[in-house]
Amino acid sequence: MEVFYRPLYTNRIKPFIDKGIIKVLTGQRRVGKSFILLQLMSDIKKENPEANIIYINKENEKFRFIKNDLDLFDYLRDKFLPLKKNYLFIDEIQDIDCFENVLRSLLSENKCDIFCTGSNARMLSSELSTYLSGRYIEFRIHSLSYIEFLEFHKLQDNDDSLKKYLSYGGLPYLSKIELNNEIAFEYLRNVYSTILLKDVISREGIRNVDFLETLIDYVADNVGSLFSANNIHKFLKSQKVDMSVNIIINYLRALSNAYVINKAQRIDIKGLKKFEVGEKYYFEDLGLRNCKQYLDFSNDINKLIENAVYLHLRINNYQVYVGKLNELEIDFIGIKDDKKIYIQVCYIIADENTREREFGNLLKIENNYPKYVVSLDPIIINSNYKGIKHLHLREFLKTTEL
């Protein structure tokens, strides 16, 4: 099996190997968590050929019988070897009921070093945080970055490759099939259906599946727009769909828990105060956003650019917010450690009014943190306008140190 190396993630995880803390890889299904586990296993074997590795993949039929903690205890009973380093890898651990009982026991007895993956954030907010608080560390795995996309698909860095990335997204398996609408979107629709069934509908107990689909379509059509459950409620009512605000909030949370969409809260730039009302939603994978509806690239381009910028910030470990400066809006504030960056996103700088809006908003921020305007302008004449960097989207997506 060909395994593409993803050092962006393995390098973050390696310092915690053999440190007595559970490593939890989270993220949407099919973003490549399993392959990162395989890479970690391979690296451990290179360092220690005598290491004893136990691997359970809950998506594999042979492990279907492991349904709960008792089954898992029973399976592991004779798997650990004395006088050897033992490593336990469990893929899609949320499919094992009460798994936290096993992890807590193994950790307390120092039986093995533990790695697991999960495709639903509720696993962390309930099971792990309740029973293993302070004894695990989470690593969020995302679909391919633009740089990884080029490597996986063996593509050159050009505008055509960028268009493919914005159209089909970054699910790794796409590198094994042809990148055209018919084949790629058929695969993506199947992935979308699996995620919806396993990680949203079944896991979250969703009853009104038709409304869930309508809500996803609404989010897809409003990427980058300010949301509120009340506004969605009013819109749906105008479409003869009567759904309570609470159900809308719960369904949005369910989609976020399954990593289908991500919420970016609004914060006040001066005081970093979070606003309770009004946020933006972005898709975890552009291909899954696009596979549900006919992709009109020319009409959707602003949404796709903004979503791609959001994902690039998250991939590079930024916490991402929407900024509010008095009555002005800043598309993104990225915060990592003690560093901040500010970003405005647009299609092209068509005239002076557009330039004033995109650069002018950033110039009103009174600090010296880096500021960027990201666009698809074919020729960027002045890449540094009054201290603000103007980058083509391709250049921005190749930048890891912002």
Sign of the torsion formed by the C-alpha atoms of 63, 64, 65 and 66:
positive
Is 180 exposed, middle or buried (CB count within 10 Å of its CB: 0-12, 13-18, 19+)? Answer: exposed
Query: Hey, which residues does 274 pair with through a beta bridge?
Result: 267
CA distance 255 to 258: 5
CA distance 210 to 201: 11
Among 76, 79, 138, smallest CA distance to 101 is for 76
pLDDT of amino acid 230: 83
- Tell me the pLDDT tens digit for each residue of 297-324: 888 999 999 999 999 999 999 999 999 8
pLDDT of amino acid 297: 80
Amino acid at 248: I
CA distance 264 to 7: 27
pLDDT of amino acid 260: 96
pLDDT of amino acid 156: 97
pLDDT of amino acid 190: 96
Residue intervals in the chain for CATH 3.40.50.300 = 7-140
CA distance 271 to 284: 28
Among 179, 399, 176, 139, smallest CA distance to 287 is for 179
Sign of the torsion formed by the C-alpha atoms of 10, 12, 18 and 22:
negative
CATH (residue range 7-140): 3.40.50.300
| Digitized pLDDT (tens) for each residue of the chain, 402 residues in all | 566 789 999 999 999 999 999 999 999 999 999 999 999 999 999 999 999 999 999 999 999 999 999 999 999 999 999 999 999 999 999 999 999 999 999 999 999 999 999 988 876 666 777 778 788 999 999 999 999 999 999 999 999 999 999 999 999 999 999 999 999 999 999 999 999 999 999 988 899 999 999 899 999 999 999 888 888 888 888 878 888 888 999 999 999 999 999 999 999 987 767 776 678 999 999 999 999 766 778 889 999 999 999 999 999 999 999 998 888 899 999 999 889 999 999 999 988 888 888 899 999 998 899 999 999 998 776 688 888 999 999 999 999 888
- Tell me the pLDDT tens digit for each residue of 46-87: 999 999 999 999 999 999 999 999 999 999 999 999 999 999
Query: Hey, how many other C-beta atoms are within 10 angstroms of the C-beta on 65?
Result: 9
What is the separation, in whole angstroms, between the first and last Cα of the chain?
Answer: 35
For 52, phi then psi, to 5°, come to -100, 115
Written as six digits, the tokens of 394 are 């391709």
For 23, phi then psi, to 5°, come to -100, 120
